[in-house]
């Protein structure tokens, strides 16, 4: 049930409970201190009362301690001072004569230890002794009764002071106390009102914040969220509001970014379908011609159409593979399969693989490195895909007699080697460099090779390198051509 209460109610309730506990505690402690100090003063005041009585009344010292004469003496003393009760005890503490009415006595023996302490001049007042008429300890005065040198008993006087009157009784009879209490009660009420008001004031910004968050939730996050405004008051709530506003700003930013990514994706999809449509239509066109004309087609023409269909189909497959690879890399589910191997080996393998293609174009493809033993731990398949894309681009953009170098350079940073694919080709206009890795971006100077390209090679390359924990960089060479480079960690 407590959980259902609002923060304000909880705080108010706790303040009320704490306040009440404090008030009750304070009253109880002051009452206790007051009663102890009164008892102490009263006992101090009557310290010698019993001794004087024994000394001044020869009757008490006589041997008939249980006689009616002493009883009568006590009775008359009690009439004079109604706050005292007189008892005569024998040496074992047994009550042998007393001033009270017999039916009031509920105890026959009084513990003598506090009496002896009192008589031996203890300074530790108040001392409480058994009350023959009740169960609560009482302050007292006591003296030893002697018969000659013989100790024959004790005179035990209970001081029944009015201090034990209850607070309520005192209140009833004291106008001044009544006024004080009234003032105290009014102050307490005023204080409560003050506490409630300040709590209400402090909790208000929190309410505003909750209201703002709730209304935001009701809006369903369909559009950009507006920042929350809360009156400047409590610093903690302002900090919370600021943190929340920061979160809103971040959400808005992500919202914008999502919208942008979504728009880009739609656009990419439209363009990619367009890219696919062209080879698909030519494939369809050739196949329809072959199918329609059948035997009317010259065997040479027929063969040419079939070859062109095949080329279009191959290109289509290449595009679909590229699109699929990009989608797969973007899904975030691709991880690297790390293996340790010498980098030189893979560079020489690639040189071998592209040898026919570069020979055909009269380009030199060379491997440049100082240390053949450098080993790295990386995903071989992905590294090959990266270098493949870069070498294919370099071959396409390098004219006859050009040189492409696959370089392995040790860097100053510990454990890092740089792999560079450097060509002596046409280079890249500086203002186009920032867009080179965007999907479907093709530069203004792009070299064509009779094949269709859709501009996904470098996008895929960049994503592959990200998975390998590396980053691709590109720059134009001092002489001619461009260099694409990235770093790998050496084992
Ligand atoms: N070595 C290079 N020299 C000059 N320009 C280059 C080089 N490599 C890439 N580019 C430019 O960057 C563009 C993007 O390259 P990317 O590999 O992404 O696409 P693509 O090669 O045109 O098509 P795809 O790789 O999908 O077949 C190219 O179109 C070209 O303009
Ligand atoms: Mg390419």
Taking only the tens place, the pLDDT of each residue in 218-275 is 877 667 777 777 666 556 777 888 888 888 889 889 989 999 988 988 988 898 888 8
For residue 163, what pLDDT band results from cuts at 50, 70 and 90? very low
Q: How far is the CA of 324 from the centre of ligand 1 (A)?
A: 19
Torsion over CA of 228, 231, 232 and 237, rounded to 10 degrees?
Answer: -60
For residue 422, what pLDDT band results from cuts at 50, 70 and 90? very high
For residue 486, what pLDDT band results from cuts at 50, 70 and 90? very high
The answer to whether residue 149 scores a pLDDT higher than 80 is yes
Q: What is the pLDDT of residue 31?
A: 83
Q: What is the pLDDT of residue 62?
A: 66
Q: How far is the CA of 336 from the centre of ligand 1 (A)?
A: 25
User: For ligand 1, atom 31, which residue shows the shortest CA distance?
Assistant: 443
Q: What is the pLDDT of residue 484?
A: 98
The answer to whether residue 32 scores a pLDDT higher than 50 is yes
Ligand (nearest to CA of 448): 1
For residue 375, what pLDDT band results from cuts at 50, 70 and 90? very high
Residue 408 DSSP SS3: strand
Q: What is the pLDDT of residue 74?
A: 77
Q: What is the pLDDT of residue 233?
A: 58
User: For ligand 1, atom 2, which residue shows the shortest CA distance?
Assistant: 394
Of 23 and 402, which is predicted with more confidence? 402
Interacting residues of 187 by C-beta distance below 8 A, sequence separation 6+ = none
Whole-Å CA distances, 133 to 79, 82, 112, 433: 18, 15, 16, 108
Q: How far is the CA of 432 from the centre of ligand 2 (A)?
A: 15
Average pLDDT in the chain: 87
Out of 7-16, 301-310, 358-367, 370-379, least confident range: 7-16
Asked if 387 and 367 count as a contact pair (C-beta separation under 8 A), the reply is no
Q: What is the pLDDT of residue 351?
A: 97
Q: What is the pLDDT of residue 3?
A: 66
Beta bridge partners of 476: 482
Q: How far is the CA of 422 from the centre of ligand 2 (A)?
A: 15
Distance CA 110, CA 423 (A): 118
User: For ligand 1, atom 25, which residue shows the shortest CA distance?
Assistant: 457
Distance CA 136, CA 128 (A): 9
Of 182 and 366, which is predicted with more confidence? 366
Q: How far is the CA of 174 from the centre of ligand 2 (A)?
A: 105
The answer to whether residue 82 scores a pLDDT higher than 70 is no
Which atom of ligand 1 lies closest to the CA of 437?
Answer: 18
Distance CA 137, CA 447 (A): 113
Q: What is the pLDDT of residue 118?
A: 92
Q: What is the pLDDT of residue 168?
A: 57
Asked if 141 and 126 count as a contact pair (C-beta separation under 8 A), the reply is no
User: For ligand 1, atom 9, which residue shows the shortest CA distance?
Assistant: 393
- Relative to beta strand 482-489, strand 84-89 is unpaired
User: For ligand 1, atom 14, which residue shows the shortest CA distance?
Assistant: 442
Q: How far is the CA of 380 from the centre of ligand 1 (A)?
A: 23
The owner of tokens 């035990």 is 156
The best mutation among 279, 326, 402, 443 to test binding of ligand 1, ranked by most ligand atoms within 8 Å of the C-beta, falls on: 443
The answer to whether residue 161 scores a pLDDT higher than 60 is no
The answer to whether residue 202 scores a pLDDT higher than 90 is no
Out of 373-377, 425-429, 473-477, least confident range: 373-377
User: For ligand 1, atom 13, which residue shows the shortest CA distance?
Assistant: 442
The mean pLDDT value for 404-417 works out to 91
Give the residues surrounding ligand 1 with Cβ less than 6 Å away: 322, 389, 393-394, 397, 423, 425-428, 436, 441-443, 446, 453-459, 482
Which atom of ligand 1 lies closest to the CA of 457?
Answer: 25
Q: H or E stretch including 144?
A: strand 140-147
Distance CA 152, CA 54 (A): 12
The mean pLDDT value for 327-343 works out to 91
Ligand (nearest to CA of 447): 1
* Residue intervals in the chain for CATH 3.30.450.20: 46-164
Which CATH number is 339-489's, of 3.40.50.1370, 3.30.565.10, 1.10.760.10, 3.40.366.30? Answer: 3.30.565.10
Ligand (nearest to CA of 440): 1
* Residue intervals in the chain for CATH 1.10.287.130: 236-330
Beta bridge partners of 144: 154
The answer to whether residue 208 scores a pLDDT higher than 60 is yes
Which atom of ligand 1 lies closest to the CA of 454?
Answer: 26
Asked if 315 and 307 count as a contact pair (C-beta separation under 8 A), the reply is no
Which atom of ligand 1 lies closest to the CA of 427?
Answer: 4
Q: How far is the CA of 490 from the centre of ligand 2 (A)?
A: 28
Of 213 and 172, which is predicted with more confidence? 213
Q: How far is the CA of 446 from the centre of ligand 1 (A)?
A: 7
Which atom of ligand 1 lies closest to the CA of 425?
Answer: 3
Beta bridge partners of 145: 153
For residue 171, what pLDDT band results from cuts at 50, 70 and 90? low
Give the CATH superfamily of 46-164: PAS domain (3.30.450.20)
Q: How far is the CA of 430 from the centre of ligand 1 (A)?
A: 14
Quick one: fold of 236-330?
Answer: Helix Hairpins (1.10.287)
User: For ligand 1, atom 27, which residue shows the shortest CA distance?
Assistant: 453
The best mutation among 320, 457, 464, 472 to test binding of ligand 1, ranked by most ligand atoms within 8 Å of the C-beta, falls on: 457
Q: Can you give the pTM of this predicted structure?
A: 0.59
Which atom of ligand 1 lies closest to the CA of 441?
Answer: 14
Phi, psi of 155 (to 5 degrees): -100, 125
Q: How far is the CA of 440 from the centre of ligand 1 (A)?
A: 10
Q: How far is the CA of 193 from the centre of ligand 2 (A)?
A: 78
The answer to whether residue 68 scores a pLDDT higher than 60 is yes
Q: What is the pLDDT of residue 363?
A: 97
């Amino acid at each position: 049930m407590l959980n259902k209460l609002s923060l304000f109610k909880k705080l108010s309730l706790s303040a009320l409970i704490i306040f009440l506990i404090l008030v009750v505690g304070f009253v109880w402690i002051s009452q206790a201190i007051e009663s102890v100090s009164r008892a102490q003063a009263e006992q101090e005041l009557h310290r010698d009362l019993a001794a004087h009585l024994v000394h001044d009344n020869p009757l008490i010292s006589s041997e008939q301690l249980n006689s009616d004469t002493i009883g009568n003496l006590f009775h008359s003393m009690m009439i004079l001072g109604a706050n005292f009760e007189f008892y005569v005890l024998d040496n074992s503490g047994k009550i042998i004569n007393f001033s009270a009415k017999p039916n009031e006595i509920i105890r026959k023996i009084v513990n003598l230890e506090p009496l002896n302490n009192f008589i031996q001049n203890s300074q530790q007042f108040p001392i409480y002794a058994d009350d023959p008429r009740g169960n609560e300890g009482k302050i007292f005065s006591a003296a030893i009764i002697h018969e000659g040198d013989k100790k024959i008993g004790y005179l035990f006087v209970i001081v029944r002071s009015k201090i034990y009157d209850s607070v309520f009784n005192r209140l009833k009879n004291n106008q001044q106390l009544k006024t004080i209490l009234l003032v105290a009660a009014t102050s307490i009420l005023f204080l409560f009102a003050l506490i409630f008001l300040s709590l209400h004031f402090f909790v208000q910004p929190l309410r505003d914040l909750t209201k703002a968050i709730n209304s935001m939730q009701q809006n369903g996050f369909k559009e950009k969220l507006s920042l929350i405004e809360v009156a400047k008051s409590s610093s903690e709530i302002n900090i919370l509001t600021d943190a929340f506003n920061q979160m809103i700003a971040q959400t808005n930013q992500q919202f914008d970014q999502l919208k942008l990514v979504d728009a880009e994706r739609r656009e990419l999809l439209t363009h990619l379908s367009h890219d696919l449509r062209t080879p698909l239509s030519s494939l369809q066109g050739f196949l329809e011609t072959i199918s329609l004309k059948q035997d009317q087609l010259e065997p040479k023409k027929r063969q040419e159409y079939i070859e062109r269909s095949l080329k279009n189909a191959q290109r289509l497959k290449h595009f679909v593979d590229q699109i699929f690879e990009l989608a797969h890399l973007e899904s975030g589910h691709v991880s690297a399969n790390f293996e340790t191997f010498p980098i030189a080996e893979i560079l020489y393998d690639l040189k071998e693989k592209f040898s026919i293609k570069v020979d055909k174009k009269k380009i030199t493809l060379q491997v440049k490195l100082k240390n053949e033993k450098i080993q790295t731990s990386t995903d071989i398949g992905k590294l090959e895909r990266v270098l493949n894309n870069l070498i294919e681009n370099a071959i396409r953009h390098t004219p006859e007699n050009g040189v492409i170098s696959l370089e392995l350079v040790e860097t100053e940073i510990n454990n890092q080697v740089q792999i560079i694919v450097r060509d002596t080709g046409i280079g890249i206009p500086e203002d186009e460099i920032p867009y080179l890795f965007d999907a479907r971006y093709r530069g203004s100077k792009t070299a064509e090779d009779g094949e269709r390209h859709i501009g996904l090679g470098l996008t895929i390359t960049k994503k592959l390198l990200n998975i390998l924990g590396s980053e691709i960089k590109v720059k134009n060479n001092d002489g001619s051509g461009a260099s694409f480079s990235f770093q790998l960690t050496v084992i």
